Amino acid sequence: MKKIHSAFVTSIDEARLSERRVLRSALAPRRVLVTGGAGFLGSHLCERLLSQGREVLCLDNLLTGRLSNIEHLTSDPKFTFVRQDVASPVAAEVDEIYNLACPASPRHYQADPIQTMKTNVLGALNLLELARQRGIKIFQASTSEVYGDPHVHPQPESYWGNVNPFGPRSCYDEGKRCAETLFFDFHAKHDVEIKIARIFNTYGPRMRPDDGRVVSNFIVQALQNEDITIYGDGSQTRSFCFVDDLIDGFLKLMASGRSLASPVNLGNPVEFTVLELAEQIIDLTGSRSKIVLHPLPVDDPRQRRPDISLAARELDWAPKVSLSDGLKQTIRYFDGLLTQQAHEHAETA
């Protein structure tokens, strides 16, 4: 009798989840959970969702996120901030989930690799369980780092990657790969509707000046007329996507149908060498900085460029902002930030 009763209860639960999905599919999501919402990408996503009339629950432990990124949103009655770590169970009455929680720059995710892995794996488990219980759609911010130092160029979603499982970047690379696995397992076992974006180098206002990423490093150094440090000989390539374009991709991916359960590359396919980036930033800032070379870090990829054919075909998405235009906006942001910091330092001196 116990087995019959258990099966009966399970069938009722599944029927209720199915009913919820049907009801939600007919309505725009009202309340959206954004984890990592006080971070660089998360704050832009919260802002965009609010502009669409959504209610936003922003969850962040402020390890790398900053309250200053979301201060301008706190006066909106549809915005709520909660300080919490996604490695702990999350309970929330929401209709949709965007999981952006995790330090994304090597400097920050390598500072506590065990915590980084917990954020990726336990965070994914906790949020997937919430999505399963509520019968709602969930988005995972994955990364181009799942491709490691690629042997295939450009990188399509079908490429399995070339990743060191126990190097200094593994806590992030393998953590994101594990999170993707969990997402697909919940999709297969519990029919959770999943969306996975593999994000390539993104830049724009609200990047941290101390995150150690190439765009922020070069701009801050150029604005202060300091030497611009290039790791390696500068011939390694990257593709740079402006944040507004990326958020467009997030929203289009989340709005796509259930049939699109594959990871989707989101990034700019136009490729630049790191040296070309440095030279362009020096030119745009009118800096007196000189370029100096340092040894290449362990496991730093030589090439990184997305194949965005899937996003173009299924989402009608492609980046629109040129590197030059995006850099100008980012330079203005950092110039204002550095000026503000200089004033604050002078006042306290």
**309-324 pLDDT tens trace:** 999 999 999 999 999 9
pLDDT for the residue numbered 342: 82
pLDDT for the residue numbered 348: 76
Domain CATH for 145: 3.40.50.720
pLDDT for the residue numbered 19: 54
104 in any annotated domain: yes
Q: 306: how many CB neighbours lie within 10 A of its CB? A: 27
What range does the domain containing 103 cover?
Answer: 2-202+242-268+305-321
Q: 237: how many CB neighbours lie within 10 A of its CB? A: 18
* Average confidence (pLDDT) over 314-341: 97
Q: How confident is the model at residue 300 (pLDDT cuts 50, 70, 90)?
A: confident
User: Is the pLDDT reported for residue 335 higher than 70?
Assistant: yes
Strands (E), 14-136: 31-35, 55-60, 79-83, 96-99
Total domains present in the chain:
1
**60-88 pLDDT tens trace:** 999 999 999 999 999 999 999 999 999 99
228 in any annotated domain: no
* Average confidence (pLDDT) over 118-146: 98
Cis peptide before 154 (omega within 30 of 0): yes
Query: Active-site residues: which are they?
Result: 172
326 in any annotated domain: no
211 in any annotated domain: no
Is residue 138 within a helix (H) or strand (E), and if so which, with residue range? Answer: strand 137-143
